[in-house]
Structure 1
Amino acid sequence: MNRKVEVLTNQTALIARSLELILAKMQIAIAQRGRFTIALAGGSTPKPLYEAIAQQNLPWDKIHVFWGDERYVPPNHPDSNERMARLAWLDHVAIPAENIHAIPTQDGDPAISAAKHEQQLREFFQSAPGTFPSLDVILLGMGDDAHTASLFPHTEALKVGDRLVTVGNKDENQRITFTYPFINAAHCVMFVVAGANKKPALAQVFAPVADESTYPSRLIQPQGELWWLLDAAAGSEVQIN
């Protein structure tokens, strides 16, 4: 497995290293394919990363932004991942509106929205049904229950292997999420994880043997690079096997 693990001294160093890697991947993708595709994570950890990206002088017309998952709320809702990324980054740069590929959340039914987004993705990547296109970078966080994107322990979303997008559930809150095979098709998957509360989950994710349904981040085994960027609070006790 092409897994790289780095433990950074603190959250500032974690964000700086994440930014460095993203910019490097962007440069390669644009040189090779003429565009850069990235799927964003939600949560509090990546917000300063998005703010840092917004400060860069980049070829915005060549950058396409997606989301790995989204809560089923309107785009202006305080819990919206799209809203967070727009406020931290996208509203501050000259990225074309058509380069922002938000997950639809206002169809009244998450299953309808998931199917609609699947079609949008297939049209963008010119991908036939049954195939999995490759984003250049997929950013992921990880919860203290080892979930990533909206792939929660012991949920139906973990069983979806033939689609790009599905409905994720946390308690009664419905979400839309990339499937793990779609994530695994990426050129580069980058976990950015901070906080001592993540230590128990990380121990299971990095263990030689553990149940993938209980610890869904174990399902992420991409064909491309897999980066785990951890701050010291999260990663100080990680045993890499």
Structure 2
Amino acid sequence: MAEFTTEKRVVVRPDPAHVARSVATRVLSRLGKRGRAGLVSHVSLTGGVMGGVVLRAIADHPKRDDVDWSLVHFWWSDERFLPREHRDRNERVGRTTLFDHIDVPAENIHPIPASDAGIDMDAAAEAYERELARFADEETGNPWPSFQITFLGVGPDGHIASLFPDRPEIQVTDRAVVAVRDSPKPPSERITMTRPVINSAVRVWMVLAGADKAAALGLVLAGASYDSVPAAGAKGRRRTIIFVDEAAASQVPPELIDGEY
């Protein structure tokens, strides 16, 4: 029988809409509190269906404008290497669902270069590394920002960002950003942050919904290897929360569900 770990807290809501509202309330509360203290926050966003649903919930939230967005910087843990205006670009989803609706300075949005930016994938990955390094965290010595929150989606295969099971990218620890070719999930060309960057975040919040994610969530909680189930190795320095709907939580032991968070 699998031995479960309790270091990850699981928060269950009835459906995807309730999950998104719950996440939106928490992120706005945290960013608002930091803003009132004059603190800058770096947030790493995720793509996928739930990534977009969460951003829309933030944009529609009644406390959206309580945040000083001039103190918030947005990044992406991964991106599809497509033209900037392609509908499948995570950046475009971010613009249309959230950034067009809040007063965030353009210079606070840090997209991964698109395929029509005039550089190849490797150069795009290097360019994003340099952009991250502009906001290097002096306290930890990492050549990237200290992310207050890193959002992650989780695929049915357990992948996070564009780190897929049993692929070489998951083992890279000497780079902050790498190109991904022949991705098992289309589109085949992607750019992703690496494991050290993801796990350096103060808080990692995984957001997933649907019965097709239940098996992956079970493996995450059972402590599967990072190589075979990348989501199992994702963890924040201070806290790791997994926000799920009831369908995705069907295989979660009741003792691991946090009813108060």
Give me the TM-score of the superposition, normalised by structure 2: 0.85
Residues in 2 aligned to 1:32 and 1:154: alpha-carbon distance in whole angstroms:
43
Q: Tell me the secondary structure at the aligned position of residue 135 of structure 2.
A: helix
State whether structure 2 residue 100 is matched by structure 1 residue 91.
Answer: yes
Residues in 1 aligned to 2:165 and 2:141: alpha-carbon distance in whole angstroms:
27
Give me the TM-score of the superposition, normalised by structure 1: 0.91
How many residue pairs were aligned? 240
Q: Report if the CA contact (8 A) 1:185-1:224 is conserved.
A: no
1:79-124 CA-to-partner distances (Å, cap 9, x unmatched) read 1000111111112222111011111123442111111100111112
The more displaced of 122-131 and 175-184 is: 122-131
In structure 2, the residue matched to 1:225 is: 239
In structure 2, the residue matched to 1:120 is: 131
In structure 2, the residue matched to 1:185 is: 200
In structure 2, the residue matched to 1:158 is: 170
Residues in 2 aligned to 1:29 and 1:114: alpha-carbon distance in whole angstroms:
30
Q: Tell me the secondary structure at the aligned position of residue 203 of structure 1.
A: helix
CA offset at residue 33 of structure 1? 5.7
**Matching residue within 54, 63, 74 for 1:65:** 74
Structure 1 residues 146 and 126, CA gap change in structure 2 (3 angstroms)? closer
Residues in 1 aligned to 2:20 and 2:142: alpha-carbon distance in whole angstroms:
35
Q: Which amino acid aligns with 1:230?
A: V
Q: Report if the CA contact (8 A) 1:25-1:136 is conserved.
A: no
In structure 2, the residue matched to 1:30 is: 35
Q: Which amino acid aligns with 1:111?
A: D
CA offset at residue 2 of structure 1? 4.5
Q: Tell me the secondary structure at the aligned position of residue 22 of structure 2.
A: helix
5+ residue gaps in structure 2? Answer: 1-5
CA offset at residue 142 of structure 1? 0.4
Residues in 1 aligned to 2:137 and 2:233: alpha-carbon distance in whole angstroms:
26
Q: Which amino acid aligns with 1:197?
A: D
Q: Tell me the secondary structure at the aligned position of residue 74 of structure 1.
A: coil
Q: Report if the CA contact (8 A) 1:133-1:185 is conserved.
A: no
Residues in 1 aligned to 2:193 and 2:36: alpha-carbon distance in whole angstroms:
26
Identity among equivalent pairs (%) = 32
Residues in 2 aligned to 1:75 and 1:164: alpha-carbon distance in whole angstroms:
22
Q: Which amino acid aligns with 2:241?
A: W
Q: Report if the CA contact (8 A) 1:156-1:168 is conserved.
A: no
In structure 2, the residue matched to 1:235 is: 249
The more displaced of 149-158 and 43-52 is: 43-52
Structure 1 residues 155 and 83, CA gap change in structure 2 (3 angstroms)? same
In structure 1, the residue matched to 2:226 is: 212
Q: CA RMSD of the aligned region, Å?
A: 2.1
Q: Report if the CA contact (8 A) 1:144-1:201 is conserved.
A: yes
Q: Tell me the secondary structure at the aligned position of residue 125 of structure 1.
A: coil
Q: Tell me the secondary structure at the aligned position of residue 137 of structure 1.
A: strand
Residues in 1 aligned to 2:157 and 2:164: alpha-carbon distance in whole angstroms:
8
Alignment of 1:10-29 (within 5 A): 10-29=15-34
5+ residue gaps in structure 1? Answer: none
